[in-house]
Structure 1
Amino acid sequence: MPETPLPDVAALSYEQARDELVQVVARLEAGGETLEASLVLWERGEALAARCQEWLDGARERLDAATSEGRAADGDEA
Protein backbone atom coordinates (compact mmCIF):
# COMPACT_ATOMS: atom_id res chain seq x y z
CA MET A 1 0.00 0.00 0.00
CA PRO A 2 1.72 3.23 -1.16
CA GLU A 3 1.85 6.07 1.28
CA THR A 4 0.55 9.51 0.37
CA PRO A 5 3.46 11.81 -0.56
CA LEU A 6 4.33 14.22 2.21
CA PRO A 7 4.04 17.95 1.57
CA ASP A 8 7.20 19.97 1.07
CA VAL A 9 8.40 21.12 4.50
CA ALA A 10 9.15 24.61 3.16
CA ALA A 11 5.48 25.05 2.26
CA LEU A 12 4.15 24.22 5.74
CA SER A 13 2.79 26.76 8.18
CA TYR A 14 4.21 26.75 11.69
CA GLU A 15 1.15 24.91 12.99
CA GLN A 16 1.28 22.27 10.26
CA ALA A 17 5.00 21.65 10.81
CA ARG A 18 4.56 21.50 14.60
CA ASP A 19 1.63 19.08 14.40
CA GLU A 20 3.45 16.77 12.00
CA LEU A 21 6.56 16.93 14.19
CA VAL A 22 4.50 15.80 17.18
CA GLN A 23 3.26 12.83 15.12
CA VAL A 24 6.79 11.94 14.00
CA VAL A 25 8.10 12.02 17.57
CA ALA A 26 5.20 9.85 18.76
CA ARG A 27 5.91 7.26 16.05
CA LEU A 28 9.61 7.19 16.89
CA GLU A 29 8.92 6.88 20.61
CA ALA A 30 6.41 4.07 20.03
CA GLY A 31 9.06 2.01 18.25
CA GLY A 32 8.16 -0.84 15.97
CA GLU A 33 9.49 0.85 12.83
CA THR A 34 12.22 -0.67 10.71
CA LEU A 35 15.63 0.95 10.85
CA GLU A 36 15.09 2.48 7.41
CA ALA A 37 11.64 3.84 8.35
CA SER A 38 13.05 5.23 11.60
CA LEU A 39 15.81 7.03 9.71
CA VAL A 40 13.28 8.52 7.27
CA LEU A 41 11.12 9.65 10.20
CA TRP A 42 14.16 11.12 11.97
CA GLU A 43 15.18 13.08 8.87
CA ARG A 44 11.62 14.35 8.40
CA GLY A 45 11.51 15.35 12.07
CA GLU A 46 14.77 17.26 11.74
CA ALA A 47 13.42 19.12 8.71
CA LEU A 48 10.15 19.89 10.50
CA ALA A 49 11.98 21.15 13.59
CA ALA A 50 14.11 23.41 11.39
CA ARG A 51 10.97 24.75 9.69
CA CYS A 52 9.39 25.51 13.05
CA GLN A 53 12.56 27.33 14.10
CA GLU A 54 12.46 29.39 10.89
CA TRP A 55 8.92 30.49 11.71
CA LEU A 56 9.84 31.32 15.31
CA ASP A 57 12.95 33.26 14.23
CA GLY A 58 10.86 35.21 11.72
CA ALA A 59 8.25 35.99 14.36
CA ARG A 60 10.98 37.19 16.77
CA GLU A 61 12.43 39.46 14.07
CA ARG A 62 9.00 40.96 13.37
CA LEU A 63 8.39 41.55 17.08
CA ASP A 64 11.81 43.11 17.52
CA ALA A 65 11.23 45.37 14.51
CA ALA A 66 7.81 46.43 15.77
CA THR A 67 9.19 47.10 19.24
CA SER A 68 12.08 49.14 17.80
CA GLU A 69 9.68 51.17 15.67
CA GLY A 70 7.48 51.79 18.69
CA ARG A 71 10.43 53.02 20.74
CA ALA A 72 11.58 55.25 17.90
CA ALA A 73 8.10 56.77 17.57
CA ASP A 74 7.96 57.38 21.32
CA GLY A 75 11.36 59.09 21.17
CA ASP A 76 10.20 61.39 18.35
CA GLU A 77 7.38 62.73 20.49
CA ALA A 78 9.62 63.69 23.41
Structure 2
Amino acid sequence: MPAQLTTTEIEQWLVGRVVAYGKIQADAFTVDTPLAELGLDSVYALTLCGDIEDEFQLEVDPTIVWDHPTIRELAEGIRQRADE
Protein backbone atom coordinates (compact mmCIF):
# COMPACT_ATOMS: atom_id res chain seq x y z
CA MET A 1 0.00 0.00 0.00
CA PRO A 2 1.39 3.44 -0.84
CA ALA A 3 2.85 5.06 2.28
CA GLN A 4 1.16 8.38 1.52
CA LEU A 5 -2.33 6.86 1.82
CA THR A 6 -4.09 8.15 4.94
CA THR A 7 -6.83 6.60 7.03
CA THR A 8 -9.17 9.28 5.66
CA GLU A 9 -8.36 8.26 2.08
CA ILE A 10 -9.01 4.62 2.96
CA GLU A 11 -12.34 5.68 4.53
CA GLN A 12 -13.28 7.48 1.31
CA TRP A 13 -12.44 4.39 -0.74
CA LEU A 14 -14.52 2.22 1.61
CA VAL A 15 -17.46 4.63 1.37
CA GLY A 16 -17.30 4.21 -2.41
CA ARG A 17 -17.38 0.42 -2.04
CA VAL A 18 -20.35 0.54 0.37
CA VAL A 19 -22.24 2.86 -1.97
CA ALA A 20 -21.54 0.53 -4.90
CA TYR A 21 -22.48 -2.65 -3.01
CA GLY A 22 -25.49 -1.34 -1.17
CA LYS A 23 -26.73 1.05 -3.81
CA ILE A 24 -27.22 3.68 -1.13
CA GLN A 25 -26.30 7.33 -1.18
CA ALA A 26 -23.05 8.38 0.52
CA ASP A 27 -24.94 11.05 2.48
CA ALA A 28 -27.28 8.40 3.96
CA PHE A 29 -24.65 7.16 6.42
CA THR A 30 -21.44 8.14 8.21
CA VAL A 31 -18.10 6.36 8.67
CA ASP A 32 -19.37 5.42 12.14
CA THR A 33 -22.54 3.67 10.95
CA PRO A 34 -22.22 -0.08 11.56
CA LEU A 35 -21.60 -1.90 8.30
CA ALA A 36 -24.30 -4.42 9.20
CA GLU A 37 -26.83 -1.56 9.21
CA LEU A 38 -25.70 -0.75 5.67
CA GLY A 39 -26.63 -4.22 4.47
CA LEU A 40 -23.14 -5.68 4.53
CA ASP A 41 -23.62 -9.43 4.78
CA SER A 42 -21.17 -12.32 4.46
CA VAL A 43 -21.25 -12.26 0.65
CA TYR A 44 -20.45 -8.54 0.56
CA ALA A 45 -17.81 -9.04 3.26
CA LEU A 46 -15.99 -11.58 1.10
CA THR A 47 -16.25 -9.32 -1.93
CA LEU A 48 -15.01 -6.35 0.08
CA CYS A 49 -12.04 -8.36 1.36
CA GLY A 50 -11.12 -9.23 -2.21
CA ASP A 51 -11.34 -5.57 -3.16
CA ILE A 52 -9.19 -4.58 -0.15
CA GLU A 53 -6.57 -7.15 -1.14
CA ASP A 54 -6.54 -5.90 -4.74
CA GLU A 55 -6.56 -2.19 -3.90
CA PHE A 56 -4.05 -2.20 -1.04
CA GLN A 57 -1.96 -5.31 -1.88
CA LEU A 58 -2.76 -6.83 1.52
CA GLU A 59 -3.88 -10.28 2.53
CA VAL A 60 -6.89 -9.96 4.81
CA ASP A 61 -9.14 -12.48 6.47
CA PRO A 62 -12.88 -11.88 5.93
CA THR A 63 -13.22 -11.55 9.71
CA ILE A 64 -11.56 -8.12 9.41
CA VAL A 65 -14.99 -6.76 8.49
CA TRP A 66 -16.59 -8.18 11.63
CA ASP A 67 -13.61 -7.25 13.83
CA HIS A 68 -13.85 -3.65 12.57
CA PRO A 69 -17.61 -3.08 12.18
CA THR A 70 -17.59 0.52 10.91
CA ILE A 71 -15.87 2.20 8.00
CA ARG A 72 -13.75 4.25 10.40
CA GLU A 73 -12.61 1.16 12.31
CA LEU A 74 -12.06 -0.86 9.14
CA ALA A 75 -9.98 1.92 7.57
CA GLU A 76 -7.82 2.04 10.70
CA GLY A 77 -7.49 -1.75 10.65
CA ILE A 78 -6.35 -1.64 7.02
CA ARG A 79 -3.89 1.15 7.83
CA GLN A 80 -2.46 -0.87 10.74
CA ARG A 81 -2.22 -4.02 8.63
CA ALA A 82 -0.34 -2.07 5.97
CA ASP A 83 2.17 -0.87 8.58
CA GLU A 84 3.00 -4.43 9.71
Q: TM-score, normalised by structure 2?
A: 0.32
- In proportion to residue count, which structure has more helix? 1
Higher-Rg member (1/2): 1
